[in-house]
Structure 1
Amino acid sequence: MKKIFILFFIIQTQVAFAQNAHLPVEKVWAERISSTQYLIKSADKTKWKIYEGELPRQMRWNSKARILKDSLIVEATPLQRKYFAAVYKKDTIIFSERRFFMEQSPNFRDLGGLKTADGKTVAWGRIFRCGDMGKLSDNDLQMIAQQNIKHVVDFRNEQEVAQSPDKYPANYEIKRVWTSISPSNDEGMKQLYVVMSNPNAMADDVERVFEGFYQQMPNNIKNYAPFFNTLLEANENESVLFHCTAGKDRTGLGAALILSVLGVPEETIIQEYYLSNRYTKYLANTGMLSQIKPAIANVLAGVQRKYIIASLNVIKAKYGSVINMLEQEIGLDQSKRQLLIKKYTF
């Protein structure tokens, strides 16, 4: 009886977690609650017809649709991704899980499915973000290969790379691009190291330093140029993955930049950024963070809206917009932006 109760508790916890693992702007979403099950939820009581497929453009439209009333459990094959289509009257939404069910990378996410201001949608399965890739399991590596990820952009500094080199699938060709967004001697990084080693530091102190770190990151915006070059160079059947250590700060700004170029509204960008908070809190109990005060560790392991807003405000104050900054600093002109939109939206 005790084992049954524990199993029930675990399943209920996974379901509750999945119910919150979406963006407020999404009408319907899917989340893996185990290696063999998806939970599909909707934002209201709309009775969506749900179809399944192996790829976004390969839905099994001739199969019998399932009706989504509130929630729906769909069986899945381990290590294989499913896509879904939700249909209600003239509205059709293609979707899949945003966060992957990875064993050693809980913040591994797909930027697909986000709506742009002009009605387009960011393509699923083309741009991924994550944290440290040095601890990926064999199953995680298999998932990477199945997503046809052929380009990896690493935002970490020299020390981080040396401590945890990326792991890639065996006998699988990946082009790695390294571009340190915030070198270890960067002023923002220095301040973070100082506050982490201060036994008298309070949570508010860490938040102020973190906000300052985000205000500093736009000073290194040229270091994001290889990221955009990679996105421009990738073939239309290849996917791009970018990451740092936690997959939330340098990676979070990188996501905000490319989503801005693709035309995603700022509020949606902030919501996507904030989603990291649901997946990175575990970091407070790992590595160096496990050795400092829990209140400090929790701040360092999470994100806050004001952090990414601090970066965006610095950019707007100096350049007027993200688009202006990228054109002036890394030469991302209109023709290149249009190419990115063509490649990564539909």
Structure 2
Amino acid sequence: MTVGSWTLTGAPNARDLGGLPTRDGRRVRPGRLIRTPALGRLTEADLTVLGRLAPACVVDLRDDSETASAPPNRLVGDPSLVRLPVLDPAHPGFGYLSAVLLGHDLTGHDEAARRGAAAAMAELYRWFVSGAVAREGFARAVRLAADPVNLPLLFHCSAGKDRTGWLAVVLLTALGVDEETVRADYLRHNALTVELRGEASAAMLRRRPELDPETVRAVLEVRPEYLDAGFDEVRRRHGSFDAYLADGLGVTPQLRAALRTHLLD
């Protein structure tokens, strides 16, 4: 699929956040913020494209258990590599969702299974706001994005939709992009991954034919209600997104000004 003016066959939901408008009439500068899934399945042609994008810094939001079971990232050049694991193995949602994705035994996840995968996904987004590990990882990623030495900045998790999606929400909102535009970019994942999700769903159901197809869809898609849960947690804990940026992530006025200076046209 074509994303903007470039394509990554092995990462179909990869995209440049450049061009998105802010409330004050500016736009995110193209080629500065690039969101992707993990890069282990890039083709040789993809590597040529990645070489043109020339990320100076690659932020990986996965933890060791995820990288150990995935093909190594394929990169070009010598970008700075920063690991910021946003994952809590003790969180029941992570355990349940991981078991669904990997085809593991769901024993011990009875309560999560009863509530359903969509509810688990929503709780995950709430944890993005409330969890100390999540706040630390997202806060550091924002600081990296504000430093021009790290630009272009490429950031990813595994599928490039949830942790990557929330970090994109944080960065775009800090830059002054309105919520409707932020939501539209978040939801693009579904349109960009129709074929990939079909293949993944079929593979998951072959491994575990007893799985409800709706459970699989809930895990592989992004949905407005997942983002709603994150925004609701922001309001519940902080009152507003600006307060969450300031109090939850330590985004000072000076840091926000640096983001706008280096990332907006």
TM-score range, shorter chain: 0.7 to 0.9
Quick check: 1:225 aligned with 2:225?
A: no
Kept in 2: contact 1:123–1:344 (CA 8 A): yes
Q: Could you tell me the percent identity over the aligned residues?
A: 26
Structure 1 residues 145, 203: closer, same or farther in 2, change over 3 A? farther
> C-alpha separation between the residues in 1 aligned to 2:158 and 2:34?
15
Does the 8 Å CA contact 1:262/1:341 hold for their aligned counterparts?
Answer: yes
| C-alpha contact (below 8 Å) 2:97/2:219 kept by paired residues | no
The aligned residue for residue 141 of structure 1 is 47
Q: Distance in 2 between matches of 1:289 and 1:100?
A: 30
The one of 119, 124, 143 equivalent to 1:213 is 124
Q: Which has the higher helix share?
A: 2
Provide the secondary structure at the position in 2 that maps to 1:152.
Answer: strand
Residue 277 of structure 1: CA displacement?
Answer: 0.9
Q: In terms of mean alpha carbon deviation, does 319-328 or 145-154 score higher?
A: 319-328
Secondary structure of residue in 2 paired with 1:241? strand
1:155/1:243 contact within 8 Å kept: yes
- Specify which of 169, 190, 200 is matched with residue 277 of structure 1: 190
CA contact (8 A) 1:276 1:303 kept: yes
Residues 138 and 114 (structure 1 numbering): CA distance in 2 closer, same or farther, change over 3 Å?
same
The unaligned stretches of length 5 or more in structure 2 are: none
Partner amino acid, structure 2, of 1:189: F
Deviation at 1:188, TM superposition (A): 2.7
Find out whether 1:337 has 2:256 as its counterpart.
yes
Q: Alpha carbons of 1:194 and 1:103: their partners in 2 closer, same or farther (altered >3 Å)?
A: closer
The root-mean-square deviation of aligned C-alpha atoms, in Å, is: 2.5
Partner Cα separation in structure 2 for residue 331 and residue 228 of structure 1: 9
Distance 2:193 2:218 in 1: 11
Q: Distance in 2 between matches of 1:182 and 1:280?
A: 23
Please, which of 135, 140, 152 is the counterpart of residue 239 of structure 1? Answer: 152
Superposition TM-score, scaled by structure 2 size: 0.85
Report the Cα distance in structure 2 between the residues aligned to 1:190 and 1:221, rounded to whole angstroms.
Answer: 20
Give the Cα separation in 1 of the matches to 2:5 and 2:168. Answer: 14
- Kept in 2, the 8 Å contact 1:154–1:242? The answer is yes
Write the mapping of 1:23-102 to structure 2, written as runs, cut at 5 A: 32=2, 97-98=3-4, 100-102=6-8
Structure with bigger RCO (C-alpha 8 Å, 6+ apart): 2
Pick the aligned partner of 1:187 from 86, 92, 107. Answer: 92
1:278–1:202 Cα change, 3 Å: farther
Structure with bigger gyration radius: 1
Q: Aligned pair 1:153/2:59, yes or no?
A: yes
Q: Structure 1 stretches of 5 or more lacking a match?
A: 1-30, 33-96
Write the deviation string for residues 160-217 of structure 1: whole angstroms up to 9, x where unpaired.
1122232212xx1110110111133333312323566449998971111111111122
Structure 2 letter corresponding to 1:217? F
Q: TM-score, structure 1 length as denominator?
A: 0.66
* 1:46-91 C-alpha deviation (Å, 9 max, x unpaired): xxxxxxxxxxxxxxxxxxxxxxxxxxxxxxxxxxxxxxxxxxxxxx
> Which of 213-222 and 308-317 deviates more?
213-222
